[in-house]
Amino acid sequence: MLVKPALSKRPRIEMVPLIDCFFLLLVFFIFGVFSMTMQQGSAPGSQPSDKRLGRHQRRPRGPSRPGHVSAG
């Protein structure tokens, strides 16, 4: 029996499975971020200390000076 020698073909990279893998990683990353947010018990923009402050004692939401951004 004769066996033909294998032709050396250039390997192909399929794009559809690669896109599926990246989409799956993105989904797990989003679920991880949401689960960490749920464990903290608050939404990313809310501050639990605001509930303790009275109506007239609320903190200002914007910057104190134009062009100034505070760290906390």
Summarised one tens digit per residue, pLDDT across range 15-72 is: 999 999 999 999 999 999 998 887 766 555 555 555 555 555 556 666 666 666 666 5
Nearest of 26, 44, 47 to residue 36 by alpha carbon? 44
Which residues contact residue 53 at a Cβ distance below 8 angstroms, ignoring those fewer than 6 apart? 59
CB 59, CB 50: distance < 8 Å: yes
User: Both tokens of residue 30?
Assistant: 């989003």
- Could you say which DSSP state residue 64 is in? S
Residue type, 4: K
Mean pLDDT of 1-13: 81
* pLDDT (0 to 100) of residue 25: 97
What does pTM read for this prediction? 0.41
